[in-house]
Amino acid sequence: MNTAVDALLIVLIIAAAIAAGGLFWLGHRQSRRQPGAGPDSGGRPGNPQGQ
């Protein structure tokens, strides 16, 4: 029983890490494709929308 709970926790942690990495990669790819429209576009030099 205890090993089953440990295995379930490990699987959940790995799935959460994969999901977080996938979401980060998707957001990074979209912001790179549209340079002025990303959520991190504020404050960069040479970007008129960030001022």
**For 1-35, how does the pLDDT look when each residue is reduced to its tens digit (9 = 90+)?**
799 999 999 999 999 999 999 999 888 777 765 55
Count other Cβ atoms within 10 Å, centred on residue 17: 10
Segments forming the whole domain that contains residue 27 = 1-32
What is the structure's pLDDT at 22?
Answer: 92
Has residue 23 been placed in a domain? yes
What is the structure's pLDDT at 25?
Answer: 86
What is the structure's pLDDT at 20?
Answer: 95
Spell out the residues 6+ positions from residue 39 whose beta carbon is closer than 8 angstroms to its own.
Answer: 27, 31
Separation CA 45–CA 51 (nearest Å): 9
Has residue 10 been placed in a domain? yes
More confident residue, 3 or 40: 3
Question: pTM for the full model?
Answer: 0.51
Has residue 44 been placed in a domain? no
Has residue 50 been placed in a domain? no
What is the structure's pLDDT at 27?
Answer: 84
Has residue 39 been placed in a domain? no
Reduced to 3 states, what is the DSSP secondary structure of residue 48?
helix
State yes or no: pLDDT of 40 exceeds 80: no
Separation CA 47–CA 24 (nearest Å): 23
Count other Cβ atoms within 10 Å, centred on residue 6: 10
